[in-house]
Structure 1
Amino acid sequence: MNGSRAGSPAGPGPNRRRFLAAAGLTAAGATLALTQGRAGAGPSRRPAAGGYRVPVEDVRHTRTWMTWPDSTAIWGGGRLRGIQADIALIARTIAAYEPVTMCANSASAARARSMCGSSVTVISSIPVDDCWTRDTGPVFRTDGAGGLDAVGLNFNGWGDKQTHRSDARVAERIASYVGVPFTRADFVGEGGAVEQDGAGTLMATRSSLLNKNRNPGMEQGTLEAAMRDAYGASKVIWFDGVYGQDITDDHVDATSRFLAPGEALVQMPLASDNDDYAKDARQQYRVLTGSTTADGRPMDVMKLQGPDYEKIRSTDPDFLASYANFYLCNDAVICAHFGDEGADAAAKATLARLYPDRTIEQLNIDRLGTGGGGIHCVTQQQPVA
């Protein structure tokens, strides 16, 4: 996920959610991460075979899963309330279209219920560390015949950059709550690091997954095979990505998204932008336009113009202004606006054209954006089986 302002030099080191000084891995935390292994709960197991695959995200959902942030160690006391307000706004907006289940720690469940309102179901039986459910939650799969299961991607705090004692087990605990079989992928990653078209094609950045902080020593072919097994896919389209400049090492879902089998969208920078993320976006567009789908068809690639960072509301250097990080729920597209009025309106019009049968809900989530994330990052869909 891009955590830097477009058009300006990328800052040194990880910069999404500047928590490292306040809540970085202490020696004890690092030891915990090592002893927990890939996911903190037993050995990895290859996902069961048998026709299961992760569907494209515009299928109907049973519900959306979210997680409630309550850590002042991560967010600081002055920022946490605003982050919670943005999470609650997203949850309430989605809940107008489909059920939302929010996982909250027991100590903060009452606040979550108060801020989210009665339309959102808050449960306190699944402990969490933070709000990034796209990365910590299970990846649900369907078999086209009424079957549903879930895969865990062995979340390790984006390469042990953040403590994750509870978040490492969110995926399996949600699967248990739903009552579906759960298996672990044979690689370490996050949901935001992989995009799927539901028909056999994946896309991802090497910087996130082919990285020693997730999968040390793993060759690309081995990693690709594990991704195909987990997602029920047969092809991976790779982008180089951006190493070490944000906590996610450049998640693909901030820049490129699948709309349907054979159809993709890339958020493009301004022509004058030339930072690492702008170069990365242009490279993703070039790679996709020269790629084919799993069944050999040429990719149809559309552009979504990003905003001018000089015109957006936020001046935070870590702000993520990603229209591409939208979330599809039943009958709606939930996306962000950033204060560049022309670009905001154009993005909304583009999404309305791409999804003519859905309502476009455009939200101000600037406080979440200063954490380097967006709406897709904090949601995880449970598809109808």
Structure 2
Amino acid sequence: MPAETDVQTGTIMAWPTAHSVGDEKYPATGSEIRKTRQEVAEIAKAIAKHQPVEIFVRDPKLGEPARGFPDTNLSSAKEMLGRVKNMTLHVTQNVHSLWARDTGPVFVQSLHGPVRNTWGRSDDPGMGFSRKNTASETVGLLLNYNNWGRKLPPNVDAYFAGYTTQTLNKSSRIAPFVAEGGGIEVDGEGTLLATESSLLNPNRNPGIDKTTMERYFAEFLGIEKTIWIPGCRGADITDDHIDSIARFSAPGTVLLSKPFDNGKNGVLDAYHDAKEILSKATDAKGRRLKLIDVPEPDPRKVLGEDYDPQWSTVSYINYTLVNGAVVLAKFGDERFDEQAKRIVGEQFPGRVVEQVDLRELASQGGGIHCATQQIPA
């Protein structure tokens, strides 16, 4: 699996359906749905300045079972993005939520020539697919997305990874484990960061231990060394994904998200645990890791006093990298926003820092990285 700093041919994104914003317990208003889509559009526009964006939109002919809201999927996407250069809209039945990092494929490079997917005349390719033969050295690894450990009812996002891979004329392989793209972080030189709380969780991988999982990482991602962070089961819908905790800015250097101490017991415990483990760890090349803190703003200040910790994240390191730029969140606290821009920008010399206002996605438990998936060159 290439590092995110490597050259890319584009970025995958998904347009949120009205039904995917909020849930039955906390139904979204029409205003919240529009604001969520506007944030997704702004992320897409920032990326499109630097490379192509492939954005997948639910087919309006299928209807939208969304608590009485009219189907505005394609019309809203065209309104907000239809005239943006470097943007391609793909209409499909196989998309539901905006979280393409987790629902989409993780792209890896074959070390043994092109990987082929071949369909026979009598084969049934399944919902929304076609009998299209593919052969590619860039391969979409399908991670068996199960709604973050079956926390939500099944929906068509389960088909999104395979469908996108086929649409982009890439071959695919199914991993022998369940994960989401936000749950793994690689340096491109054989080292992987992950949380035990997400990947070694019976809601995803019952009965699979570290040794077995590391063997899978070696076979399917080319990993030689996995550094495990405990994480916290149930801390959020992802069970503590690594991409809001720790990210490689380069081999041997890790950016660590430091939560704001708002007086709640244990708010910094997971951070200190992660920092202690990483400070003692070595990577696949035997290097000790250099750790750089990126402080988070007070979530009460930027999301409101009634924010829900289980459905919110204000991590700056949930950025995404594209050719020549890093797309970074701006939460509305000027001091912290500027500090994050400086710290993250210093780690990516030669890249423009594109900051995008984020509130709705943050309130829904995700960020810019969660909404994107890179396609390596």
Which range, TM-score by smaller chain? 0.7 to 0.9
Does structure 1 residue 114 correspond to structure 2 residue 79?
A: yes
**8 Å contact 2:21–2:28 — kept in the other structure?**
no
**8 Å contact 1:69–1:84 — kept in the other structure?**
yes
2:52 to 75, 92, 99: 99
Q: Matches of residues 144-159 of structure 1 in structure 2 within 5 Å?
A: 147-159=137-149
TM-score normalized with structure 2 length: 0.83
Q: Matches of residues 346-385 of structure 1 in structure 2 within 5 Å?
A: 346-384=339-377
Distance 1:83 1:91 in 2: 13
1:71 to 2, 12, 18: 18
Residue type of the partner of 2:46?
Answer: T
Distance 2:253 2:341 in 1: 18
**8 Å contact 1:242–1:277 — kept in the other structure?**
no
Equivalences, count: 331
Secondary structure in structure 2 of the residue aligned to 1:301: strand
Partner in structure 2 of residue 55 of structure 1:
2
Structure 1 pair 372–92 and aligned structure 2 pair: CA distance change class (3 A): same
Structure 1 pair 59–273 and aligned structure 2 pair: CA distance change class (3 A): farther
Question: CA-to-partner distance for each residue in 1:97-134, whole Å, 9 max, x for gaps?
Answer: 11101101111223212112322211113521211000
Unaligned ranges ≥5, structure 2: 61-72, 114-135
Q: CA deviation at 1:228?
A: 2.5
Q: CA deviation at 1:176?
A: 0.9
Distance 2:354 2:314 in 1: 16
Structure 1 pair 313–216 and aligned structure 2 pair: CA distance change class (3 A): closer
Structure 1 pair 63–226 and aligned structure 2 pair: CA distance change class (3 A): same
Structure 1 pair 191–102 and aligned structure 2 pair: CA distance change class (3 A): same
**8 Å contact 2:144–2:178 — kept in the other structure?**
yes
Q: CA deviation at 1:291?
A: 0.6
Distance 1:118 1:336 in 2: 24
Q: Matches of residues 198-237 of structure 1 in structure 2 within 5 Å?
A: 198-237=188-227
Question: CA-to-partner distance for each residue in 1:289-321, whole Å, 9 max, x for gaps?
Answer: 111111212112211122233443544234311
Residue type of the partner of 1:215?
Answer: N
Q: Matches of residues 122-271 of structure 1 in structure 2 within 5 Å?
A: 122-125=89-92, 127-143=94-110, 147-270=137-260
**8 Å contact 2:231–2:270 — kept in the other structure?**
yes
Residue type of the partner of 2:38?
Answer: A
Q: CA deviation at 1:263?
A: 1.5
Distance 1:357 1:67 in 2: 28
Does structure 1 residue 312 correspond to structure 2 residue 302?
A: yes
Distance 2:251 2:267 in 1: 26
Moved more, 171-180 or 99-108: 171-180
Q: CA deviation at 1:272?
A: 6.3
**8 Å contact 1:314–1:366 — kept in the other structure?**
no
TM-score normalized with structure 1 length: 0.82
Structure 1 pair 340–152 and aligned structure 2 pair: CA distance change class (3 A): same
Secondary structure in structure 2 of the residue aligned to 1:82: helix
Distance 1:62 1:257 in 2: 21
**8 Å contact 1:126–1:174 — kept in the other structure?**
no
Secondary structure in structure 2 of the residue aligned to 1:233: coil
Distance 1:247 1:309 in 2: 17
2:321 to 328, 331, 343: 328
Secondary structure in structure 1 of the residue aligned to 2:341: helix
The two structures, once aligned, show a CA RMSD in angstroms of 1.8
Structure 1 pair 198–311 and aligned structure 2 pair: CA distance change class (3 A): same
Q: CA deviation at 1:142?
A: 2.3
Partner in structure 2 of residue 82 of structure 1:
35
Distance 1:353 1:116 in 2: 31
**8 Å contact 1:67–1:131 — kept in the other structure?**
yes
Distance 1:157 1:142 in 2: 26
Distance 1:207 1:218 in 2: 13
Question: CA-to-partner distance for each residue in 1:223-248, whole Å, 9 max, x for gaps?
Answer: 22112222111111001101113110
Q: List structure 1 runs of 4+ shifted beyond 6 angstroms.
A: none
**8 Å contact 2:57–2:95 — kept in the other structure?**
yes
Residue type of the partner of 1:91?
Answer: A
Distance 1:129 1:97 in 2: 26
Distance 2:314 2:191 in 1: 26
**Percent same amino acid at aligned positions?**
37
Distance 2:266 2:370 in 1: 21
Distance 1:192 1:166 in 2: 19
Secondary structure in structure 2 of the residue aligned to 1:81: helix
Distance 2:264 2:275 in 1: 15
Structure 1 pair 278–160 and aligned structure 2 pair: CA distance change class (3 A): same
Question: CA-to-partner distance for each residue in 1:250-305, whole Å, 9 max, x for gaps?
Answer: 00100100112211110113466564452112211111111111121211221112
1:337 to 330, 335, 339: 330
